[in-house]
Amino acid sequence: VEAGDAPAVIAELEPLHAADIADFIEQISSQQRRAFLALSADQLDGDVLSELEEGVREEVIEALPREALAEAVRELDTDDVVDILEDLEDIDQAYILETMESDDRAAVESSLAWPEHSAGRLMQSETVAVPQDWTVGAAIDFMRTEDWLPDQFYHVILVDERHRPSGYVTLGRLLSARRAMALSELVEESFLSVEATEEEEEVAHLFNKYHLISMPVVDQSGRLVGVITIDDAMAVLDDEHEEDMLRMAGVNEESSLSDRIIDTAKGRFLWLFINLITAIFASLVIAQFEDEISALVALAVLMPIVASMGGNAGTQSMTVAVRALATRELTGQNTRRVIWRELAVGMINGSAFGLIMAVVAGFWFGLPMLAVVIALSMFATLASAALSGIVLPVMLDKMKVDPALASGPFVTTVTDVVGFFAFLGLASVMLL
Amino acid sequence: VEAGDAPAVIAELEPLHAADIADFIEQISSQQRRAFLALSADQLDGDVLSELEEGVREEVIEALPREALAEAVRELDTDDVVDILEDLEDIDQAYILETMESDDRAAVESSLAWPEHSAGRLMQSETVAVPQDWTVGAAIDFMRTEDWLPDQFYHVILVDERHRPSGYVTLGRLLSARRAMALSELVEESFLSVEATEEEEEVAHLFNKYHLISMPVVDQSGRLVGVITIDDAMAVLDDEHEEDMLRMAGVNEESSLSDRIIDTAKGRFLWLFINLITAIFASLVIAQFEDEISALVALAVLMPIVASMGGNAGTQSMTVAVRALATRELTGQNTRRVIWRELAVGMINGSAFGLIMAVVAGFWFGLPMLAVVIALSMFATLASAALSGIVLPVMLDKMKVDPALASGPFVTTVTDVVGFFAFLGLASVMLL
């Protein structure tokens, strides 16, 4: 299918969901993509565009003639338009905005005025809001006469005379209530709105925590300016997770399988370079003990074990910390208890592996003092790994630095340096 | 607040959302929790119970008298009841089922009959379904007369005469359409239902991919048995991410900050033990080159750098692979291209860091051949790290083993062994 004749491919794709077409476009190679777009540019749906991941989408947008792009964008909800436009250059943005209807353009422009990654960028401007003193019947009649209603909406938002949201009624309740009933009697118990400047990550967290389906967005004066629906919040949550996971591993979070090889290599280079610096730093520690190593090569054989165990124990604590910070489980109140917990866990496992390694090293090299040295250094390394694994992310978070991004190199440096220094230093004092 | 008088605390919690009360219960210490429960057991809401994370929930359930538990469970939707019951012991399950109303009990029992982590466990049995040939007016009248409608629903599902779903209509469209209109004219274009035996992870993926809000669940014969709403799918997605992230770091995915210290230590012990085995394995490689190391201690100083860089490059590829497998971006079709990409990225960065380290080692130790050895071994290690980082997760996935859980130790073993062997082996041949 992927090789030759484009019309056949296009016919094949026709009945598919936009998300599947987007998947197809992502999975073929760059060359195939160009060939495909050359033939199908004018038939590309706006929905497909908004389903594409950023890297590929840029490629596709560059390949599309401006008119086809404007055409594709016109059918979309304003939140999807914003999502596409925010990555475009100013000239292209302006061109597409010009071709839009004035209502939609105004909505998109005001949404683009909010900061990147804010609730204002995520929301759609089409809201279904009615005065808070209306009845069920009035609301239903209103909805039946209006024809601009958004594709997807699940609540009617009640607003006061200054257009500030005061509650919402689910459509299910609205449908099952008598016409004469006041809307105010049907409002959901818990009602949450969010300021347009709030970070999208926080919004996603609120959706997940409170099982929300949609959330009104207000401006600084509390007036309703839009609404965020859960499907967008779910996509944000998914992206944030991906970001955390990739960042922790030192992979550029915007990288994707469809990037160019050289870009991917560059993206990973920086992290590896930082790691190289920390590794050289650890080697400098080892270099201080060259004499000891020449005297007893067993030290060179065993020292990577200590460092490797420290690195893994540190990663365990760090991952728990990064995750707990992301889910707001690790808050100011329980920080001290959690740090103590991690240290205790590190000391318990440090003792356990200290004992195990003492036995292993004792049998392997037959030197009782070497066994004692490795036991003590294993304990020190695992305890300090656990401690730095929890303390460093917490400190970075306090300093408003993303702990997922920055913790790794620090923790590795601590565990390597402590591991080598403890092991070789103790050996130098106790063994030689 | 946390210390002394319980009535004050209870009064403080009263107006809060169940999710916040659950957070409070999770964050206080075990002792405080017991004291709190002793005083507030009979006032505990079912909602709070379903918001608690598993470990703490077990603790709370054990502390609650059976009657209070049954009372709390009675108010919940069937999907939340299932969620709580599936972790209970059989006797307690039976007791709570007995106290439920017969309709609800039947629904919960049939849901519990589906496998764990399946769509059948996730769904709620209360569905709003009407014959597919009805009109808007008929559907609205039906909803107005029925009083058992679920708390949250967003679609009316159309079913044929054998109760098989054929499409759905959003409540928004229903409300904005004329009464005489046929429901079949209002159905959403894309309609997806899922079998009750499908894995919940797959369900969450479908929700996220197709921006679904709710999805009908059918049994083997295609009959409608329940519906899954997006908030539950979002929670599953969140859990799956957490699981992947923690598993990759070797942390038991069911662990939480509120577990007992000794349990946490035990949970991490196994992973560290596996790591110890691989580290010892790597040390055995080093031990083969004891003579070379005695002859040239610089080898001991530099070898951790090679292994560390390999470990990091391997983790980068592995994380990308685990993530791409989880999001279904890495499928059979593009596997070969992705493997080649990773290998190419590994070779590019291997060349770059080979050169850098050649310069560093050359200046540091003043031995040209040592520079050549470290350059070559850096290249070999980074290339094999990238390759094993992508190939091992793909292979494990093919073997139906969770790549997030099992890839780490394999990749580390490969990078350590290759790193030490290449560096020390080349040194032995070329230098000494």
Q: Give A371-383 as a DSSP string.
A: HHHHHHHHHHHHH
* CB B62 within 8 Å of CB B54: no
Q: Do B345 and A264 touch (CB under 8 A)?
A: yes
Chain B: residue whose CA lies nearest to A237: B238
Residues of B in contact with A255 (CB under 8 A): 320
* CB B305 within 8 Å of CB B285: no
Q: What count of CB pairs under 8 Å joins A to B?
A: 321
Query: Minimal Cα–Cα distance from B323 to chain A, Å?
Result: 7
3-state secondary structure (DSSP) of residue A100: coil
Give pLDDT tens digits for B101-131. 888 888 898 899 999 899 999 998 888 999 9
Of B370, B256, B347, B354, nearest in space to B25 by CA: B256
Query: Where residue A16 falls among pLDDT bands split at 50, 70, 90?
Result: confident
Q: What is the dihedral of CA A80, A83, A89, A95, to 10 degrees?
A: 20
> What pLDDT score does A3 carry?
55
Q: Do B279 and A303 touch (CB under 8 A)?
A: no
Chain B: residue whose CA lies nearest to A280: B305
Q: Do B208 and A170 touch (CB under 8 A)?
A: no
Q: Do A175 and B175 touch (CB under 8 A)?
A: yes
Give pLDDT tens digits for B136-177. 999 988 988 887 777 778 899 999 999 999 999 998 888 888
Q: Do B334 and A257 touch (CB under 8 A)?
A: yes
> Of A1 and A239, which is predicted with more confidence?
A239
State mean pLDDT over A7-30: 79
Residues of B in contact with A407 (CB under 8 A): none
Q: Reply yes or no on whether the pLDDT at A329 is more than 90.
A: no
Q: Reply yes or no on whether the pLDDT at A4 is more than 60.
A: no
> Edge-to-edge strand order for the sheet containing B224-229?
B194-195, B214-218, B224-229
Chain B: residue whose CA lies nearest to A347: B265
Lowest average pLDDT, out of A84-88, B178-182, B421-425, goes to: A84-88
Q: Reply yes or no on whether the pLDDT at B4 is more than 70.
A: no
> What pLDDT score does B5 carry?
64
Query: Where residue A253 falls among pLDDT bands split at 50, 70, 90?
Result: low
Residues of B in contact with A248 (CB under 8 A): 245, 319
Q: How far apart are CA A402 and CA B215, in angstroms?
A: 36
Mutate to test the interface with B, among A175, A244, A340 (most CBs of B within 10 A): A175
Residues of A in contact with B334 (CB under 8 A): 27, 257
Q: Do A176 and B264 touch (CB under 8 A)?
A: no
State mean pLDDT over A343-348: 95
State mean pLDDT over B402-421: 88
State mean pLDDT over A298-316: 93
Mutate to test the interface with B, among A130, A141, A154 (most CBs of B within 10 A): A154
A269 close to B (CB below 8 A): yes
Q: Reply yes or no on whether the pLDDT at A15 is more than 80.
A: no
Give pLDDT tens digits for A373-395. 999 999 999 999 999 999 999 99
Query: Minimal Cα–Cα distance from B230 to chain A, Å?
Result: 8
> What pLDDT score does A6 carry?
62
Give pLDDT tens digits for A273-301. 999 999 999 999 999 999 999 999 999 99
Query: For all residues of chain B together, what is the average pLDDT?
Result: 88
Q: Do A312 and B338 touch (CB under 8 A)?
A: no
Give pLDDT tens digits for A177-199. 888 999 999 998 778 999 999 99
Q: How far apart are CA B161 and CA B218, in angstroms?
A: 15
Q: How far apart are CA A397 and CA A327, in angstroms?
A: 13
> Of A290 and B54, which is predicted with more confidence?
A290
Query: Minimal Cα–Cα distance from A73 to chain B, Å?
Result: 18
Query: Where residue B331 falls among pLDDT bands split at 50, 70, 90?
Result: confident
Of B139, B26, B51, B98, nearest in space to A190 by CA: B51
Lowest average pLDDT, out of A128-132, A193-197, A422-426, B45-49, goes to: B45-49
Residues of B in contact with A405 (CB under 8 A): none
Give pLDDT tens digits for B14-39. 778 888 888 888 877 777 888 888 77
Query: Minimal Cα–Cα distance from A143 to chain B, Å?
Result: 5
> What pLDDT score does B6 carry?
62
Residue-range domains of chain B with CATH: 6-113 (1.25.60.10), 129-248 (3.10.580.10), 265-430 (1.10.357.20)
Chain B neighbours among A 42-81 (CB < 8 Å)?
none
Give pLDDT tens digits for A315-325. 999 999 988 88
B352 close to A (CB below 8 A): yes
Mutate to test the interface with B, among A272, A285, A328, A381 (most CBs of B within 10 A): A272
Chain A: residue whose CA lies nearest to B178: A144
State mean pLDDT over B170-199: 89
Residues of A in contact with B257 (CB under 8 A): 320, 324, 329-330, 334, 338, 341
> What pLDDT score does B420 carry?
95
> Of B121 and B189, which is predicted with more confidence?
B121
Q: Do B143 and A304 touch (CB under 8 A)?
A: no
Mutate to test the interface with B, among A45, A320, A342 (most CBs of B within 10 A): A320
> What pLDDT score does B302 carry?
95
Mutate to test the interface with B, among A176, A336, A356 (most CBs of B within 10 A): A176
* % of chain B exceeding 90 in pLDDT: 46
Contacts for B266-273: CB closer than 8 Å, 24+ residues apart: B268/A313, B268/A316, B268/A345, B268/A349, B269/A349, B269/A352, B271/A312, B271/A316, B272/A309, B272/A312, B272/A313, B272/A316, B272/A349, B272/A353, B273/A353, B273/A356
For B66-133, give the DSSP string.
HHHHHHHHHTS-HHHHHHHHTTS-HHHHHHHHHHS-HHHHHHHHHHHTSPTTBHHHH-BS---EEETT
- Two tokens at A396? 């970075």
* % of chain A exceeding 70 in pLDDT: 97
> What pLDDT score does A157 carry?
94
Query: Minimal Cα–Cα distance from B65 to chain A, Å?
Result: 27
Q: Do A276 and B353 touch (CB under 8 A)?
A: yes
B265 close to A (CB below 8 A): yes
Q: How far apart are CA A129 and CA B328, in angstroms?
A: 39
Mutate to test the interface with A, among B33, B173, B283 (most CBs of A within 10 A): B283
Give pLDDT tens digits for A200-230. 999 999 999 888 889 999 999 999 999 999 9
Give pLDDT tens digits for B268-288. 898 899 999 999 999 999 999
State mean pLDDT over B201-205: 92
Query: Where residue A161 falls among pLDDT bands split at 50, 70, 90?
Result: very high
Chain B: residue whose CA lies nearest to A17: B190
Q: Reply yes or no on whether the pLDDT at A235 is more than 60.
A: yes
Query: Where residue A11 falls among pLDDT bands split at 50, 70, 90?
Result: confident
State mean pLDDT over B192-214: 92
DSSP code of residue A43? G
Q: How far apart are CA A104 and CA A120, in angstroms?
A: 15
